[in-house]
Structure formats: structure tokens, C-alpha cells
Amino acid sequence: MNIKLTGRFLLVIFFLSFFTKSIYSQVDTLKSGWEFGRPDERIWRSATVPGTVHTDLLAHHLIPDPFKGMNEKAVQWVDKKDWWYRCTFNVTEAQLKQDVVELEFLGLDTYAEVSVNNRDVLVTNNMFRAWSADVKRHLKPGKNTLLIKFESPIKHDMPRFLRDSVIYPAGNDASDIPLSVYARKAPYHYGWDWGPRLVTSGVWRPVILKAWSAATIRNVSYTTALEGKKARVNVKVQLTVTRPGTYLLTPALTLGNSSAIANRPGKAFTLPEGDTTCELSYEVNSPQRWWPNGMGAQPLYQATVYLTTAEKTTLAQLSKKIGFRTIEVENKPDAQGESFFVKVNGRPVFMKGSNYIPQDNFLPRVTKEKYRRLFDDMQESHFNMVRVWGGGIYENDEFYDLADEKGILVWQDFMYACTLYPGDRTFLENARMEAIYNINRLKDHASLALWCGNNEIAVAIKNWGWQDGYAYTNLQYESMQRAYDKLFKEILPNAVKDHDPGRFYFHSSPISNWGKPEDFTRGDNHYWGIWHGMEWFEAFNTHIPRFMSEYGFQSFPGMATIDSFATKDDYHIFSNVMQSHQKSPAKGNTAIKIYMDHYYNTPVDFPAFVYLSQVLQAEGMKVAIEAHRRNMPYCMGTLYWQLNDCWPGPSWSGRDYYGRWKALQYYAKRAFEPVITSTVEENGQLKTFVITAEHGNNAKWDLELKLVLTDLQGQIISLKKIPARKYADGASTLVNTVAINDLLQGRPRNEVIFYTELVNNNNVLNPNLYYFAAAKEIALQEPGISFTCKAAGDGVDVTVTTKQLARNIYLGLSTAIEGEHFEDNFFDLLPGMQRTVHLRTGRTAAAIQQQLKITSLVDTYKK
């Protein structure tokens, strides 16, 4: 019997990995006893699963660390070889008495042949899908052998490349032979402009042995309609049945220790043999709504479905964490062009966040602790959205579970980026199955906001000169575009419609290019005029799109990270090692230096250059973030490129490979604060805005504003106070305009500072300083910085005081310990001011007092 919803509704939902408990069901994860080797050597060595061939070789000291020095080049032979993995596992008599004994592979990278006891059971060609096979007939009591033969992805795809009449425009592929387009494998493995070329193979997600009888639950999905003070929940249960008959399905929903629905008897279904779907429905009174970070709480309900026999013997149960909310994406023509914004629970919300790439080239090295730290950092930085970029992977379940928990909305790309793809039936069917698997895996997450077909391919077709650059004939280019339309305008949207109905999908980000003024009126935009276009940071103030989903600037990681891959002999931006870790060679370190010379004095040495590169990047991104927030509701989102790194080296990231915060991450945290001021020059006027984030309860902000013009010695030239008033949440309000000539009264621009400060309920919020001249034009004096350390809470409070203007004060430790974290850094202090910064650490205040080293801008060019 099916129970179905009718009428209009908005999707709401969630996901958590399931578990089954029953005498009819036994589950084992095959973790131990793995070995790997090459078929041409037949030498078997211990292996780690989940893992990769590179990490196994590294563990046996058979290759150098690819992240150190120039070793990346020394390991390129690995992807040209086939690699075999094997293990033995025990099967009991009890397991063999079950109807089905399955092997489930949650991730095989990528081309593999699987055999059990020398019997072929599976062939795979996609690292993004789970694969399973009923292997009962091949098993025996006691020890059994599992063998996985991985074919080199290079060897597998090279014949296809040689047969094709076109070369695909995959400019990311560092080998100059674009094989990445053929493999349904993480594109960044083949290289990108922020990461190395390390094309892996291996068992990268768990292998599970499942034995069950009668019937089992394959998946459960939820659709929720919020109706006034109630929610109606529709549940689809996908089952496989080996013994036809009558079964009971019973739903349960709890929040904490309390049931959210009345106890009810199981619903009976008469089920045939094979795969089938059953539907349930129930109501929830007064559901607590899930909100994005900063707008409210993130209540997550435990939703469970129990499968029992007619005699009420439990066969299986599946549980997920779910959250009640509505999400809509508005993307339609309006009076200003074409909108693009997100509504949560009926409220438009300005999106604050970044673009995420995989955290390691060797994916199984990303631990649960690293995922949690990543999301702790996003939450601390006031993010409410993260974009999972289309050149990486569909992330592990832990990623989305934490997004649900922390209130971080997920913009989910399908894994296609920056190139056209084949259009043959085999490739497209593989893509379709990949989409269905990942949609079903992720669709129930409260955090999932939207699906996007690919990264940048649509704008590239029109604007990147592919046809001329690759000498495609008109017929060839038209054929390639038809393949694009088939995949991104037919197969993927149909998969979303069929399996995640109601969720927003669009075929490519960005919707608009950045070359013409009209581009900034339509949809989302990737603005690369800064960096690729070599425009100055001030262009961020005039190039405002409806939603900025990519923009950025590079910097180097800190010296502790550089020392993990380089020696002091490599301390030069054009040394071989630094060049090998700079993956944007067309501009790269030269671009950083050009921008640095424009805004700053020449740094005295390499460590000064590294520090200054981070300050440069952060100051530029501050201009952008404030410009985007100032211009809401015209602009309704800012996602900078990029949040993190997959290896240590210079890149656009705010957190480096080890999770250490660069200056950018601190600047983003301050720029994403719920309430900020922002000052900008426009047509000879100095304009100051008060910008507020959204509350879930529509509360207004009660704020007092102080605007001060001082000289470099901190002497007040003019002071204006705007009395406390209420500001609407989720708004940008122009509060003060003054002619710059009237304000400065002839004073040189490089000798004054404009300072704004907000007071909310007697709490002074982070001040914002505006400089009228580039840093290199301001005559900084030795600031005379002093500090004291005092034990506080889970660490130490560091109070910093300065006698003179101090810019970009950086608090560092001579020897850092993993997990230590300053809650603020790279900040400015006016003369006579102080700031207290908390350091999370297990060390004493006395130890920190000895270890603390403070750097400010003047130190980079005065010794």
C-alpha cells in the first residue's frame, strides 16, 4: 500500500549512515589483513584499507614523500602501473545459512576487477559510486580470498585518447595529455592550479561484508511538508526481498530522548521477491526548525524505520539524522537583471562562505578529527554556506553530517569542471548512475541547498577560445556541445527531478561571465578580474554581481608549513622547490610580487615576503567581502576561493594544508561578523554603512555608531556619534556620507585614518579602520608593542598594547603545538589601544609568554 502527498510542498531534510541489527543480518567491515603488490613483481606487502597505493608505497619507504621538495616528479611512475590488493576474511557457517552474502565496496579508485576465491564477481569504472555483489555461491566456511586488480588509469584511458578525433580542453591535466575527461575519478588527481598531479589507485572507502535473509532495507528517504505548526513526513523505504510475504514497517522519530511522534503499530505490506519501494506517512506537531549558522539552532531528529516480520522479529532498521526546514533558490528575471539568492524557512539569507576542495591528495588520510576541525573553523568564521567544488569528490558522510550539525548550507557541484566531456552512451550511462547514487546518498541532509551540474564549463564554451585554441571544426565543436547538453541539461537535471524533486538545479556555475558590465546583473559570477585579469583590488568595489560564487587571490602558507616541504636553501620565490609547489605558473609568484609592489614596500627577506603575501591576500579579500555585503540585497552571497588546501604550497586558501589559519581566514571571520561597518570612497564621497546579518526571529539590532578621523599618532581630528537606533536584520544601511575634501581639510591622505566603532548593548564590536592611502605610502614608526599573558578558560589570554600605530599584528609561537589556535590575529591597533586575544592551548601562561613572537607590518621592511 502506498501513501502519497499531494499538492505543493517544499523539500526539507537529511542523512546519516545506517546500521542494521538482527539475527537475520550480520555486517562486517574488512579492515585487516590487506596486502598490495604489482602483478609484474608478485611481491606482496602489507597495505592499509581504506587507503591509496601512494600511501602504501610511502609507508614501506618505496617512494619519497611527494609533498616534500620536488618529489612530486619522482613518483609519476606510480600511476603507469597496475596494482593488486588482496585480503583473506573469515565466513562462518551461520553467515552462509543466510539468503544473501554481499560484498559492498563504498569506493574503488577506479578501474578494478574483483574476484572472490578466484571467481570474478565485479568490474568497476567509477570511484564515485558504491559497488556490490552477492558472492555467497563463491564462499566457503573459514578463510576466503578477496582480490582486487586495479588497472592503471593512464593505461586504461590512453587508447581512448589515441582513438579520439579531438583533444578535450582539460587544461588542468598537468601531463598535457587530457586523460582526466575519460575517467570518473577525482579530476584534481590529474593536477590543478593549486595542487599536484598524483593519480591514485586503491580501496579508498570501506569494504563491507553483509549477510542477511528474508528482506533488508536498502535506503530510506524523507520528504517533509511544513504546514503551519505541523509537519507531514513522507517516507520512502527501498527494500530487497528474498522471501515473499507480509512484512511490517514501523517509523520512529525522536529529538534527544523524547519521541516526536505517537507510538504506532507497524504498517503491513505484502511484498514480492526482488527490489521494491514502500511508502509511509506521519505528522509531527510543533517541529523545531533547523536554521543556518548564526540564525538559530540546528535541531536534528533521529528518524528510524524498523523492518520486521509479521511475527515482529526485527530484520533491519535504518536511522538518519533529519532536520526540518525549507530551502528555495530564487533564480529568475527581475528589474535589475536575473536574481540569485537562497531563502531558508521563507527568509532570504545572504550567503557567507567559501569554496571547498578535498583536504588531501590521498583522501583516506582525512580523519574525522580533520573534518570536525574544518567545520569548527567554518562555524567560528561565521560561515553559513560552503561550496563543494566540481573538480574534487562527493564528500564522505562525515562532511555532510557536520554541515547539518554546524548549520553550514552545502552548495553541491556534480564532479565535472573546466572541460568538455565525452558523449558516448557508456560514459553517459556511467554518469547517470553516479548521479543517482550520490543524489540518494546526500539528498536527505538538512544542509543540502542545491545541485549544480559543473564548474565553469558553460562560460568556457563561449569565452575561453576553445574552438580556435584546439582547432575544432564547426562539426566537432557542435558535437561536443551536444554532449554537454545531453549530460548537463538532460541526464543530471532528470536525475535530480526523479530522485530529489523540488531541489534547485542549474547546469553550470557561473551563470554569467565577468568580461562585460551586463555580466554582473545575471545570476552567480566568478570574478577573476583580480588575479587572472591583473586588476587592482579596488575593482572589487565596482564589479558587484548578484551572487559572487568565486573570487580570490593567492598567498604563501606560514613558515612552519613551508618548512615541512622546503629547506632554508629554498627560501626564494623563484627557487626550484617554491616554483614546483606553485601550481599557477602562468602568473603565480610573479603576480603576488606585482600586487605586493603596488601596495607595499619591498619585504626585507623571504619570511617577510611570506607574511606580507598573507596580509596582501587578506586585505584584498576584505575589500571584496565588504563590497558584496554592502550591496545586498542586489548581491546576496559571497563565496571566496578557496577555503583549504590538498597539499602544502602557495594557493588561494584561507587555511593551509595543516589547518593553520592564514591572515585571510582571520579577515574573513571579522568581515563575516553578524554586524560590521564598512567604509568606501565613491565619487569624492566617503560613505559608511552598517551591515547586519539575518536572525531567525527577525530581531532588530540596537546599535550606536562612532565615526572618528585621527592622525597616525592617534590624535582625534573629528568625531561624530550617531545615537543608538534599531537596524533591521539582514540589511545594509548607509548611515553617513561626507565629502572627502571637507573631512580631510587639506590634510595629506597618508597621514590620517578613518575609524568606525559600533556599540551593541554596551559591547564594543570590532572596529573597522579605513586608510586613504596604500600601505607603502604611510610612514609607519616602530610601534612599541608590548603584551601580557594570563591563564583563562581553555587557554591563555594575550593582551597586546601599542604606543604607535601598529598594522597587521601577527601573534606567532616559536614552537607551535597542533590544536593551538589564536581566536584573532593580523589586526591593527591605534596608538594607546589594546586588544585581548584568547589562545586555545594546553600550555601555561608563562610558557606562552616565553614562546610568543609578535610581527607587525613595519617589521617587513625595517630591520
Residues catalogued as catalytic: 456
Residue with cell 539575518: 694
How far is the C-alpha of 144 from the C-alpha of 123, rounded, in Å? 19
Going by the DSSP 8-state scheme, the letter that residue 287 receives in this structure is P
Spatial CA neighbour of 324 closest among 294, 353, 303:
303
Which cell is 1 given?
A: 500500500
- Coil, strand or helix at 853: strand
DSSP strand pairing (448-452 vs 504-506): parallel
Beta carbons of 32 and 14 less than 8 angstroms apart: no
Which amino acid is it at 66?
Answer: P
CA–CA distance, 437 with 205 (Å, rounded to integer): 15
Q: Would residue 345 be called left, alpha or beta, if left means φ above 0 and alpha means ψ between -120 and 50 degrees? A: left
Q: CA–CA separation, 721 vs 443, rounded Å? A: 50
Strand-pair partners of 305: 251, 318
What is the DSSP-derived secondary structure letter of residue 17? Answer: -
Place of cell 576487477: 113
Asked if 565 and 649 count as a contact pair (C-beta separation under 8 A), the reply is yes
Find all residues with CB under 8 Å of 164, minimum gap 6, and list them: none
Other C-beta atoms closer than 10 Å to the C-beta of 498 total: 11
On the CB side of 144, CA atoms within 13 Å amount to: 25
Q: Which of 64, 82, 62 is nearest to 73 (CA)?
A: 64
Q: In what order do the strands lie in the sheet with 504-506?
A: 504-506, 448-452, 409-413, 385-388, 351-356, 637-640, 547-550, 524-526
Q: Is residue 630 within 8 Å of 678, Cβ to Cβ?
A: yes
**DSSP helix/strand/coil, 369:** helix
β-bridge mates for residue 522, sequence order = 338
Instruction: Taking the CA atoms of 832, 838, 844 and 850 in sequence, report the sign of the dihedral they define.
Output: negative
Q: What are phi and psi of 519, to 5 degrees?
A: -60, -30
Phi, psi dihedral angles at 614 (to 5 degrees): -70, -40
HSE-up (13 A, CA, CB side) for residue 750:
9
Q: Which amino acid is at 631?
A: N
* Helices 606-630/588-599 angle, 10° precision: 80
**Residue 810 cell numbers, joined:** 601577527
Give the Å distances, CA to CA, from 65 to 266, 538, 723: 56, 41, 60
